[in-house]
Structures are given as C-alpha cells and as structure tokens.
Amino acid sequence: MFVETVFWFHPLVWWIWCGGSGVVDREADGGRAGKSMRACDEEVLSLGIEAQAYAEGILNVCKLYVESPLACAAGVTGSNLKKRIETILTSGIVVGMNFAKKAALAVAAVAAFAAPVVVGMMNAPPIRAQSSSSVPSPATAKPKFEVASVKPGDRRATGGGASKSGEGNVRGAGFEVEPKRFVATNVNLFTLIVKAYGLNTCRPMLRDTCILLSGGPGWFRKDGFDIVAKMPGDTPDYTLMQFQNGQAPQLQLMLQALLADRFHLKAHGEKKQLPVFALTVGNKGPKLKKAEESEPPLLVFRPPAQSNGEEMVKLVVQNSSIQQLTDLLSIFMDRPVLNQTGLKDQYDFTLDYETNADAPGPFTAVTGPGLFRSLHEQAGLKLEATKGSVEVLVIDHVEKPSEN
C-alpha cells in the first residue's frame, strides 16, 4: 500500500497490484471481516491442512446456514463465499515470506523507485554554465532602449572639436539627453564605449587614446554614428551633465546593450598595473566635516576668480562621498585616481587654491600643485603618484552596425 501510494503514477506498480492479490483483497474481502477470514484461511493452510478438505469443511457448514432466518444475524450468502473457496483451491492464499522472498520484494521496490529517476536523468536537457556577463538572468538583465535608430554620421564633418551639447572627436559631434530620449550625433564608437562604460579618465574630446580602453579597429575612432533612442517609461530623468560624468547608470546600461546588439561589441575587464594617483588619509588624519543630509549633493569646480591678486580655484564638496570626489578628479587628471582612504561617510568641505595657469595642457589650471597642497593642508588627504591595479576594458570583437 505504501509503494502504491507513493508511486501511484507508475505503470509497473499497477501491473504488479492488479496481477497479484490486491484487487482480490478489495473486491472479495469487503473490509475487516473479509481480511479476518483470509487471515484465518492462511493460518489453517500453513499448518499443513489440505486445501480441498478445508474447502469441503467450509461448504458443509454453509449447507446448514445458507441464510439466517433472523434479520439481525449475519448470513453466509453472496459472492464472497464463492471467491473464498476459489482462492483456497487455487492456492491463492498468501503464505509467509522467507528471507529470499523478502529480498526479492525489496529489489522490486527499489527498482520501482529508481527506474523513473534513471530514465529522467538520461533524458534530462543538459545544464549549461552561464556567466552573468554573457547571459544575464531576468533579475539582473540589462535595461534596454524601447526602440533605437543607428545610422552612419556625416563623413564630411571631420577634425577635432565638439558641439555645445557634449563631447566628441569629430566636428559637430555631441549628445543630447532629454526625458526618455537619448540622441548621439556623429559620435564615434570610441566615444560611445567610453560613455557607456563610464571610463572617466578617458576624454574623447581631447585625444583618441585611453589607458582604460584596449583594442578595437581603427575605424571605431574615426567613423561617426547618429543614434536616436527612446528610453522605457520608468527610466529616471537624467541630465546631460549626469551622463557626461558617468552618473546615469540605467542610461549607460541601455547604451551598453545597444552596442552589443547593433555593433556586436564583445569586451571583458582585465586587471593591469598602471600609473595612478592614490588618494589616502594624511598622517594627522582627515580634516573633514560630516555632511548635513538635508543639503542636496554637490561636487563641482568653481571657475577661477581673483583673490588678493591671485587666480584662485574653488572645489566645492557638499553631501558627497570621497569616492565621488575621486571619480570627479579622474575626469580632470591624466591618470585614474584611486580612493584608498577607507572613508565611507558623506562630507561637506571646500578647497581654495591657486591655479596652475602657466602649465601647458588642458585642465592644468585646476589640477596643478595647488590642488595637491590644498587636499593635504585643508582636508587632511594626500594625493600621490604611484602605480596601482586598474581594470581595463579590452575589446574582443566589434563590427560596423547593421542597417535599421
């Protein structure tokens, strides 16, 4: 009964049950009385009594009591008597089981359990290992644009420069970020990858190389592309400045998905030892004030202004973390800036320092020696040139986009 209950769906169980005595027990015995009679018959026959003599004895008794004249007395009429006699004469009585029979029954039970399991394992579909980067699960799948158009840009617009709307290294190139709409005009693939993956140290407007990006064909720095895309309705309303500074995560993930779908971009991260700036806590500890949470986050360089005959720069940090500060510095420095301070809180502070106007090159006015000194003297932080482990994005494969 236990095997039948557990493996009611198994054809072999029903074949054994119906081919044996189970059905007979249910149909003929009719409850506890029938089971008691069957147990009695088994006990008598097990003592060595001949089946025919035992059956005749039962029939002789029944001849005298074919049916009780009293309504309240039990009789012996009905189909049960006939089946009982047939069972006795055909040796259908279940006799005691010896060790060999018990072992055979155990083997049959194990086979009934194991057979469907083995068959299922043999016919199960293969399990394939999946990496989160190649085939993301639904919970971690990258957001995508609802619809996007990708076309070649204006080949006549070549040369350096940028539009008022953003960065690019072909004339007239730039970005537009509006609520639920993203536009890239004549932007090369190099710039698209830099922005999609938030490679802050890379500045496409100024150069076509980046230590955080490796590989790629020559055309991906030259050919521009026009992209017009619609974002899903639940996308945050990012600003152009947030996108330019790598602070528009969902938009960046959508752009990554677009590059993989239309440009067949395949890339992987790889750790390399590169020249970096390490930001650490000075010997006397940090000189920072924890932020008042009521103030909105703000992290910005103020334009140089005259103060006591000096061109001074102001760096304002309001309700922002040190990691956000290093991300900002990475945009303006010529190498990545690593946060090694261990500071986790949000802070409010302002740095005032003289510009470095005489030094050649872009952004040196705000990233010269004055910045290093002010960080140490006013904030208790040290910014030092060194080497460190940095993750570089390596391009494995990329193609020119397919037609819309």
Average pLDDT on 246-271 reads 93
Phi first, then psi, for residue 340 (nearest 5°) are: -120, 25
Label each residue of the chain as H, E or C. CHHHHHCCCCHHHHHHHHHCCHHHHHHHHCCHHHHHHHHHHHHHHHCCCCHHHHHHHHHHHHHHCCCCCCCCCCCCCCHHHHHHHHHHHCCCCCCCCCHHHHHHHHHHHHHHHHHHHHHHHHHCCCCCCCCCCCCCCCCCCCCCCCEEEEEECCCCCCCCCCCCCCCCCCCCCEEEEECCEEEEEEEEHHHHHHHHCCCCCCCCCCCCCCCCEECCCHHHHCCEEEEEEECCCCCCCCCHHHHHCCCCHHHHHHHHHHHHHHCCCEEEEEEEEEEEEEEEECCCCCCCEECCCCCCCEEEEEEEEEECCEEEEEEEEEEEEHHHHHHHHHHHCCCCEEECCCCCCEEEEEEEEECCCCCCCCCHHHHCHHHHHHHHHHHCEEEEEEEEEEEEEEEEECCCCCCC
* Percent above pLDDT 70 for the chain: 69
Q: Give me the mean pLDDT over the 72-97 stretch.
A: 63
Question: Rounded distance, CA 183 to CA 148, Å?
Answer: 10
| 237-256 residue pLDDT tens | 999 988 987 889 999 999 99
**Over the chain, what is the mean pLDDT?**
78
Minimum mean pLDDT range among 78-92, 239-253, 268-282, 378-392:
78-92
pLDDT at site 397: 95
In this structure, what are the phi and psi dihedrals at residue 10, rounded to the nearest 5 degrees?
Answer: -85, 120
pLDDT single digits (tens) 147-200: 999 999 887 654 333 444 444 444 456 899 999 999 999 999 999 999 999 887
| Contacts for 195 with CB less than 8 Å, ≥ 6 apart | 167, 175, 243, 244, 246, 252, 255
Instruction: Give 52-68 pLDDT, tens digit per residue.
Output: 788 888 877 776 655 54
22-44 per-position pLDDT tens digit: 444 444 445 556 667 777 887 78
- Cα dist from 314 to 300, 303, 375, whole Å: 8, 7, 12
Residues 6+ apart with CB under 8 A from 402: 262
